[in-house]
Amino acid sequence: MTSNTQIHKNKAKPFLKWAGGKKQLLGAISKRLPQKYKENGVLENYVEPFVGGGALFFFLKNNFHVKKAVLYDVNRELVLAYNLIKEHHKELIDDLKKMEKEYLSKNNKERKKYFYSIREKYNEQRYGFDYKTYNSGWISRTSYLIFLNKTCFNGLYRVNQKGEFNVPHGSYKNPKICDEENLLNVNKALQNTKIKCSDFVNSKNEIKRDAFVYLDPPYRPLNGTANFTSYSRDGFDESDQRRLAKFFKNMDKKGALLMLSNSDPKNENPEDEFFDKIYEGFRIERVTAKRAISCVGSKRGEIKELIIRNYPKES
């Protein structure tokens, strides 16, 4: 990477473990960034319509000078957490420290009881909750979210059709519930960044010519039973994937530099041309990645994932 003196060297990383997170794919993605960014170390305008855990965003913030960034996600809990850390990280850290101290002081049986009490509070709190205007409830809401993510089974965020968080207790020996150093770094990384809760298509007004846009939608399930779309109650089906492909083409016409990642259906069915067809005419590559989240340990091996771009290697 460049040695540009304006680069933030705060080493921020995702503050939540998120299904579909791109930590394992960062090497492949970074090699495929537009050449001009690798040469001058500056991104004028970065837009991410599905921020999720933010692995690429934090990577870019750590290694480049990102002048302007706009992050979108349809998950209102996630967006609330990002905005809280951006504006009120100190209050959050204080709250998480208290929760961590209380949780770690308990035995296994007491921890489990405490976990389910927090999960119940978190699910009840959402009724009538004001996600738009900052209030003191934002602190406890984000504290609950981070606590549950750090102490639940497999660190998975999942909701049922009612929108209730339903992941069971994880029984970790010494979970780091309050990662103060990283939260401070995340706060720094989020400065000069807008975070919005909205469907990806609404990011179109933020995408100008020469903007770099990374699209990481909820993945198309690898088979008929797999389901990695439960980040929100609404999911993300094949019609949404086609809607996204149309959006990709429209932003290409705007002159934006686009990169998109998704699961490769050929892992399960070599004849499945779904993405090859809807992104026909663009650069489609298959890269090796590790399955990050699976309840079956034997199914966490290497698979192929797709990286789709509208620009060549030399751009």
Q: For residues 89 and 183, is the Cβ–Cβ distance under 8 A?
A: yes
pLDDT tens column, 216-274: 999 887 654 444 434 445 578 899 999 999 999 999 999 999 999 999 999 989 999 99
Say which CATH number the domain at 90 has.
1.10.1020.10
Tokens 């460049």 appear where? 2
Stretch 191-217: mean pLDDT, rounded? Answer: 96
pLDDT tens column, 62-104: 999 999 999 999 999 999 999 999 999 999 999 999 999 999 9
DSSP for 10-44 reads -----SS--TT--GGGHHHHHHTS-HHHHHH-EES
Task: Point out the domain boundary residue: 151, 181, 211.
Answer: 181
Cα angle for residues 244, 250, 253 (degrees, 5° grid)? 145
Tally of CB atoms within 10 A around 309: 19
Residue 259 φ/ψ, nearest 5 degrees:
-135, 135
Residue 288 DSSP class = E
Would you say residue 315 lies in a domain?
Answer: no
DSSP for 48-111 reads ESS-TT-HHHHHHHHHSEES-EEEEES-HHHHHHHHHHHHHHHHHHHHHHHHHHHHHTS-HHHH
Say which CATH number the domain at 36 has.
3.40.50.150
C-alpha radius of gyration, the chain, whole number: 20
Identify whether residues 59 and 85 lie together within a single domain.
Answer: no
Would you say residue 130 lies in a domain?
Answer: yes
Average pLDDT value over all residues in the chain: 90
Count CA within 13 A, CB hemisphere, residue 37: 24
Tokens in use for 59? 């990577």
Q: Which residue has the higher pLDDT, 16 or 4?
A: 16
For residue 129, how far is the Cα from the chain centroid? Answer: 23
Torsion, Cα of 57, 17, 120, 129 (10° steps): 10
Q: Under DSSP, is residue 148 helix (H, G, I), strand (E, B) or coil?
A: helix
Identify whether residues 66 and 96 lie together within a single domain.
Answer: no
Identify whether residues 128 and 264 lie together within a single domain.
Answer: no
Identify whether residues 131 and 34 lie together within a single domain.
Answer: no
Predicted pLDDT at 4: 42
Identify whether residues 211 and 296 lie together within a single domain.
Answer: yes
Predicted pLDDT at 24: 81
Task: Tell me which residue of 177, 179, 157 sits closest to 167, measured CA to CA.
Answer: 157
Identify whether residues 134 and 281 lie together within a single domain.
Answer: no
Identify whether residues 98 and 62 lie together within a single domain.
Answer: no
Q: How many domains is the chain partitioned into structurally?
A: 2
pLDDT tens column, 139-190: 999 999 999 999 999 988 888 989 899 999 998 999 999 999 999 999 999 9
Task: Point out the domain boundary residue: 119, 152, 181.
Answer: 181
Tally of CB atoms within 10 A around 227: 14
Would you say residue 192 lies in a domain?
Answer: no
- Whole domain around residue 240: which residue ranges? 23-74+198-309
Identify whether residues 246 and 305 lie together within a single domain.
Answer: yes
Predicted pLDDT at 230: 42
Would you say residue 268 lies in a domain?
Answer: yes
Identify whether residues 58 and 87 lie together within a single domain.
Answer: no
Rounded CA separation 29/100 (Å):
35
Would you say residue 11 lies in a domain?
Answer: no
Rounded CA separation 6/139 (Å):
32
Task: Point out the domain boundary residue: 156, 181, 206.
Answer: 181
Rounded CA separation 196/30 (Å):
25
Would you say residue 13 lies in a domain?
Answer: no
Residue 168 DSSP class = P
